[in-house]
Chain A
Amino acid sequence: MNAVISVGDYLGLVNHSLRTIPHEGMVIEGEVVDFKISQGKWVNFDLKDEKAEAKISCFMTVFALNVPLQGGMRVQVAGTSKVFERFGKFTFNVTAIELVGEGALQKAYLALKEKLRLEGMFDVERKRSIPRFPERIGLITSGEAAAYGDFLRILRNRWSGVTIVHTPVTVQGKDAVQEILGAFAQLNALPIEDRPEVIVLTRGGGSLEDLHAFNSEAVARAVFQSAIPVVCAVGHERDESLCDFVADVRASTPSNAAERVVPDRREIDMNVSVSIDRIGDQLQYEIDGKMHEVDRAVSIFDRSLARLMQSMDDVHRRFGYAFERFRLSLVATVEYVDRRVQTIDNRLRVVIDERSRSVTELERVLKSIDPKEVLKRGYALIRSHTGKILRSSRDVAPGDRLTIQLGEGSIRAQVESNATQESLL
């Protein structure tokens, strides 16, 4: 008769058996695959045995993880194993982990990284900016590598007119470090007109061993000491190298290095267009403003002119009225003067006529008293020999010579006697 037990009880038996496996004095060595951290606390990875195609699911907390673990690393782990009842899954609980092989490289890498960091070689303050539009770019990489093609392709897609000064180097293997150092020295020693404005140090992804040259202290120092700013792009997106930290600009891939080192012509083309549009708009705005000012000035001028015209019209009209009044008064005056002159004339004529008549009368009177006229009537005028008109007989003595003037002609006579008037009569 078979004994019947529950699943939980059976797993209890399994786990009891597992605890009999010694966990001290023994470590399991394998390669880390499917490494992941969940919720920032739980570390899961599979430990793989490449020869036997065997694997163990490992679990640990991030607190127990004292090495920068990555997929592909070779590690030795210590711990205990257990089947979790809930999931029915066999899991190795890691209590200690140590890197082997590359892991050791990693340790060395971290130690060097810390040393260089303390020296200030990673300081952000010393990072130099690269020119916005470089015309000469130094390129340190292998001419055969995909990185070389990727870099040049992206560079050409983005920008043009650039001279790439390529120093071919092997990027892995025993000569890599020396060649990279030589390339830095060579580019920095170029005469100023040939010297690139920026150096791109790049290679594609690879194992930590492959990237060895880029993690060497000598190359890191060469990057640090380069007089020309350096853009470093080593490996893939998630890879890092010491050169990356020292470089003035860190790019994730060779393609990204091209993106970091030159602008995109479409973007710049757009910038140029936008700049010109903005300048044009601004100028147009200013012109519109000035036009408006001119319009305003013209309208002010128009209004003033209209006012001036208006007042000139007024003045003209008033002048017209005044002039008309003046003309009328002048005409009236002239007529008045004419009338007066006529009156004076008439009066004068009357006076002259009157005077003329008076003269005629006077003439008649005068004529009537003219002695000659009297003489014509039979009277005579007697003058002494001295010519004096005689009025009395006493004025003469006998013998005096007299001249008797008659109406017609005269007589010379001699006084015989003289008597008084009465006696004569």
Chain B
Amino acid sequence: MSKKISFADAFQELESITEWFETQNVDLDEGVKKFERGLELAKMLKEKLASVENTVVTLKKKFSDLDNSQTL
């Protein structure tokens, strides 16, 4: 799977997997596949959560040019 998946998409996929497990008659093969995918997503999400950086981009007044950007 692509590593470029967004946090929101990954989280939503994890939630839908959780829901799938709670509402379906779980087929074991499918279940193991989804479980592995869930672990992969969880790892990805936890890695993102572990980062503490936000980026601030300040726009110039009246211009849409990027003025400067700094990482907090």
Contacts and interface: CB of A to CB of B under 8 A. Distances in A.
B54 A160 contact: yes
A164 interface: yes
A351 interface: no
Given A156-B72, A275-B18, A290-B28, A169 B61 contact: yes
A334 B7 CA distance: 94
Interface residues of B, number: 36
B49 interface: yes
Interface of A is mostly: helix
Interface in B7-34: 7-8, 11, 14-15, 17-18, 21-22, 26, 28, 31-32, 34
Interface string A170-197: 0000000001001000110110000000
B46 A269 contact: yes
B38 A276 contact: yes
Contacts of B31: 282-283, 286
Per DSSP, are chain B's interface residues mostly helix, strand or loop, or mixed?
helix
B53 to A, nearest CB: 6
A279 B21 CA distance: 6
A169 B59 CA distance: 10
A159 B45 CA distance: 12
Contacts of A169: 61
A143 interface: yes
Contacts of A152: 54, 56, 72
Given A168-B61, A169-B61, A283-B31, A135 B56 contact: no
B48 A161 contact: yes
A257 to B, nearest CB: 14
Given A169-B61, A279-B34, A282-B21, A163 B42 contact: no
A182 B60 CA distance: 11
B2 interface: no
Interface residues of A, number: 40
B45 to A, nearest CB: 5
Interface in B31-47: 31-32, 34-35, 38-39, 42, 45-46
12 contacts: A159-B54, A186-B64, A265-B49, A268-B45, A269-B46, A275-B14, A275-B42, A279-B38, A282-B21, A283-B31, A286-B28, A286-B31
Interface of A: 131-133, 135, 143, 152, 155-156, 159-169, 179, 182, 186-187, 189-190, 265, 268-269, 272-273, 275-276, 278-280, 282-283, 286-287, 290
Leading 10 A-B pairs by shortest Cβ distance = A133-B8, A282-B21, A286-B26, A275-B18, A166-B58, A164-B56, A276-B42, A163-B55, A162-B54, A265-B49
